[in-house]
Amino acid sequence: MPYRVCFVCTGNICRSPMAESVFRARIEEAGLDGLVEVDSAGTGGWHEGDGADYRTVAVLEAGGYESDHAARQFQVAWFSRLDLVIALDSGHLKALRRLAPTPQDAAKVRLLRSYDPAAGDDLDVPDPYYGHMDGFEECLEMVEAASPGLLAAVQEQVEGRAA
């Protein structure tokens, strides 16, 4: 059974699809495709069925990432099949931990930037939606900076399952 990671932001059109695309590329580069499944969702359903924000798509494409996406809302029932739920900011972290049906499920929820040793105390990826292109570029930089640490943690879990 694959190790499953879900990235979660507010509407699933900016930060979480960006993180999903970047992390999927890292999984493929590490030769873990097939062993790790990556997806994303939002805490709310306002944009369900919509594609990623055009600025997210532009930043991803400029970075060489795939950007095929349809927004959806995170469902409580998913906790039972997910191994790791990655929140993009502390508001999402709190909301997801409140939704978690068990303490074990709540423990699956982590902040993305907690995997970036250079992040310091500010572990939120700011929402770029109401800003300009530079906010989306900054978001991509934060996602890319946290990806190696997240990849190492996931790789360790996948190898532990195989042992």
Task: Return all residues near 67 (Cβ < 8 A) that are at least 6 apart.
Answer: 17, 21, 52, 56, 57, 60, 61
Q: Which listed residue (9, 24, 26, 53) is catalytic?
A: 9
Concatenated DSSP letters for 37-101? EEEEEESS-TTTT----HHHHHHHHHTT--------B--GGGGGT-SEEEESSHHHHHHHHHH-S
Q: Is 124 helix (H, G, I), strand (E, B) or coil?
A: coil
Active site residue 14: no
Active site residue 15: yes
The tokens 């069925």 sit on which residue? Answer: 49
Q: Which listed residue (72, 83, 97, 127) is catalytic?
A: 127
Q: Which listed residue (6, 15, 53, 124) is catalytic?
A: 15
Which residues have a catalytic role annotated? 9, 15, 127
